[in-house]
Amino acid sequence: MREKFLVTSRRDMEERGWDQLDFVYINGDAYVDHPGFAAAVIGRVLEARGYRVGIISQPDWHSAEPFKALGRPRLAALITAGNLDSMLSEKTAAKKIRNTDSYSPGGIAGKRPERATIVYANRMREAYKDVPIIIGGIEASLRRFAHYDYWSDKVRHSILLDSKADLLSYGMGEHSVVEIADALAEGKSVAEMYNIRGICYVTSHPPVTDKTVVCPSYEAVKADKLVFAQAFKQQYEEQDPFYGKILIQQSENRYVVQTPPALPLTTEEMDAIYELPFQRRWHPDYDAAGGVPALHEVQFSLTSHRGCFGHCHFCAITSHQGPIVQNRSHESLIREAQRMIRLPDFKGYIHDVGGPTANFRHPSCQKQLTAGVCRNRHCVGSEMCPNLDTSHADYLELLREIRKLPGVKKVFVRSGLRYDYVLADNNHKFVEELCRYHVSGQLKVAPEHVVKHVTDLMGKADVQAFLTFKKWFDEANEKIGKKQYLVPYFMSSHPGCTLKDAVALAEFLRDMHMQPEQVQDFIPTPGSLSTAMYYTGINPLTGEKVYVARRPEDKQMQRALMQYKNPANYDIVHKALCLCGRRDLIGYGPKCLIPPRRPGKRSEQGSRGRRPAAAAAKARPGRRAAGVPGNHDARRGPGKKARTNHSAFR
């Protein structure tokens, strides 16, 4: 069994007759050999090129010795914090330590350090001073320039400077890592690789030409939030592989240089990558701990594409995977599904066929494949581009082909569905077929908010699109005779959202009879447009000022309003309504959110002081319980299902 996995020990090396590896891959996550996990993808890609690769997962970082476990690599050390930013893996939006880690054996937290990329790189340098170090993955990719760090509440250097790595591979990385590997094998120095796309490096002599953009320095963006916003806008606008220029940012007497993004993968390249010999399970070393929880949701899922033109401003997928959708062929996906069907644990259910957004199966328009995306225009969001290709025909045909395979009982669609894109296609047939064959009782969608100026700042469609889609969804289920529900995700405390806006969202939830059991508080993760708004109070794309709820109490009030029925939230909801001048929402009427306080009672018992049931029945005769199940939202942090949008060293 072990010989089918990538090397993880000296014993594995001996069994293969290897005395030295070409690459040692330091991974902040447990090793799962599945195409949804970047360490497996990058390791398999290099292995397919003939390189000897070994993985050291979650090494004890308190000394350099564990980093020597597989010996000195012949070519380089590859380092990643894991599938998530290590700070996000460890801490919540309230900066509290998380109790679990789905990317660790048994879900046990504490298996990686804070700022793991930096710690691992420094330890590897201590172990082997002359070995080139290449960092990558989501943590490195989104911290490649001077950036705001929410957990320390300050602007930090590029992670390249703090880690002292030789190169940074940003984005998905298959192209760049192979080019780096081949250059190292040819005996080239790091300085001879500065023309590779999709990398960052540090130099004292940056290339300043008409094809470069010089951003404000680290010192300038740290000193002035307006300058930070201007620098972010420059970086944001040069992330296209077809017209993006070289970016340069000074820090003291050194310069961080980013080469243009790697070109999108072709369909043939994606097919080849996803058909590498993945075992689709965690390494056997983790069996005793009960395995790696993050695998469960994606073990029987298919990645049909990558990239996203959704431009949700709080999401880093567009910055990381790119806005140009790259897809796999039907034939390749069918072959993968057939291999999956033969696995001993397969029960007939394919959990997902999708990517970052399930129904974005092709580029938003054909121009993108030769000229790139529009620099100052989004494809979807508050407005739809008139050139948008909204066809769902290919995705629908793919789902039909997979569900007809012998051994498949059901094919679900569980990755994000962009319903405004469905509406733009005017595609009732897609919704009906989705409800009939591909929904398991609940379909998750993400309106995020209901106030237009907030959804505009989020890069989302307004609430009317959600209501229209809900009508379509309900009509489709009535037609086919099923009781299925939409589970909408909403977010509190996003930049631009005031307390008044949070009350409006609570009223919407009341009117829609929605009772979210879990809600998502905005977390300013590095690299996103929303994080730049949070830190600066400015929309970098327009220069307009943006309200930001920064105080913990302000954030707590917004979050509590989304769960106003929770007795534990009574006091904070009461305070929020009073501050907003909305005492009309405190009472026993059908539009009220909470009842009045009982005389002489502070609310240790919260809203258990609601009116008696008989009074409630009299006020609202015949009123039935809410119709939409609870909203379980952990999608933008640990505990969410492991998405199939892997990244290089992510």
Is 18 inside a domain boundary? yes
Assess whether 7 and 117 both reside in one domain.
Answer: yes
Pick the more confident residue, 610 or 269.
Answer: 269
Share of residues in the chain with pLDDT > 90 (%) = 83
Is there a binding annotation on residue 385?
no
What are the pLDDT digits (tens) for 330-368?
999 999 999 999 999 999 999 999 999 999 999 999 888
Rounded Cα–Cα distance for residues 171 and 322 (Å): 8
Q: Which of 78, 81, 80, 100 is nearest to 25 (CA)?
A: 78
Pick the more confident residue, 265 or 378.
Answer: 265
Assess whether 151 and 15 both reside in one domain.
Answer: yes
Is 375 inside a domain boundary? yes
Domain ends where: 224, 258, 292? Answer: 258
> For residue 89, is pLDDT > 70?
yes
Assess whether 38 and 152 both reside in one domain.
Answer: yes
pLDDT of residue 597: 87
pLDDT of residue 49: 97
> How much is the average pLDDT of 379-387?
86
- Report the interhelical angle of 552-561 vs 499-511 (nearest 10°): 20
pLDDT of residue 602: 56
Say if residue 405 is exposed, middle or buried (CB neighbours under 10 Å; 0-12, 13-18, 19+): middle
pLDDT of residue 600: 61
> How much is the average pLDDT of 63-72?
98
pLDDT of residue 601: 57
Of 40-54, 278-292, 631-645, the one with minimum mean pLDDT is 631-645
> How much is the average pLDDT of 527-531?
95
Domain ends where: 199, 225, 258? Answer: 258
What are the pLDDT digits (tens) for 387-432?
899 999 999 999 999 999 999 999 999 888 899 999 999 999 999 9
What are the pLDDT digits (tens) for 596-631?
987 765 544 444 444 443 344 333 333 333 332 232
Say if residue 551 is exposed, middle or buried (CB neighbours under 10 Å; 0-12, 13-18, 19+): exposed
Assess whether 148 and 65 both reside in one domain.
Answer: yes
Single pTM value for the model: 0.90
Q: What's the domain range around 69? A: 2-258
pLDDT of residue 618: 38
Pick the more confident residue, 649 or 492.
Answer: 492
> How much is the average pLDDT of 56-71?
98
pLDDT of residue 632: 29
Assess whether 171 and 93 both reside in one domain.
Answer: yes
Is 199 inside a domain boundary? yes
Question: Cβ atoms within 10 A of the Cβ of 16, count?
Answer: 10
Strands 167-169 and 53-57: unpaired
> For residue 633, is pLDDT > 70?
no
Name the CA dihedral angle for 292, 298, 300, 306, rounded to a multiple of 10 degrees: -140
Is 246 inside a domain boundary? yes
Q: Which of 576, 571, 562, 559 is nearest to 605 (CA)?
A: 571
Assess whether 173 and 308 both reside in one domain.
Answer: no
Assess whether 245 and 321 both reside in one domain.
Answer: no
> How much is the average pLDDT of 548-561?
96
- The CATH number assigned to the domain holding 318 equals 3.30.750.210
Which amino acid would we find at residue 426? Answer: N
Is 281 inside a domain boundary? no
Q: Would you place residue 1 in the very low, low, confident or very high pLDDT band (cuts 50, 70, 90)?
A: low
Q: Which of 289, 283, 298, 280 is nearest to 108 (CA)?
A: 289
pLDDT of residue 459: 94
Number of domains the chain contains: 2
Assess whether 332 and 188 both reside in one domain.
Answer: no
Q: Which residues pair with 136 in a beta bridge?
A: 169
What is the average pLDDT value for the chain, to the nearest integer?
A: 91
> For residue 27, is pLDDT > 80?
yes
Assess whether 314 and 419 both reside in one domain.
Answer: yes
> For residue 504, is pLDDT > 80?
yes
Is 20 inside a domain boundary? yes
Assess whether 189 and 326 both reside in one domain.
Answer: no
Assess whether 106 and 214 both reside in one domain.
Answer: yes
> How much is the average pLDDT of 507-522?
90
Q: Is the dihedral of CA 6, 8, 12, 17 positive or negative?
A: positive
**CA separation, residue 77 to residues 22, 96, 191, 198, 329 (Å):** 9, 32, 17, 18, 33
Is there a binding annotation on residue 315?
yes
Q: Which of 145, 215, 148, 173 is nearest to 44 (CA)?
A: 173
Rounded Cα–Cα distance for residues 624 and 618 (Å): 13
Residue with tokens 């327009």: 542
Domain ends where: 204, 231, 258? Answer: 258
- The CATH number assigned to the domain holding 65 equals 3.40.50.2300
Assess whether 466 and 360 both reside in one domain.
Answer: yes
pLDDT of residue 517: 74
Question: Cβ atoms within 10 A of the Cβ of 339, count?
Answer: 14
pLDDT of residue 377: 77
Is 279 inside a domain boundary? no
Cβ-based neighbours of 600, under 8 Å, separated by 6 or more: none
Is 295 inside a domain boundary? no
Whether 67 and 124 have beta carbons less than 8 Å apart is answered as: yes
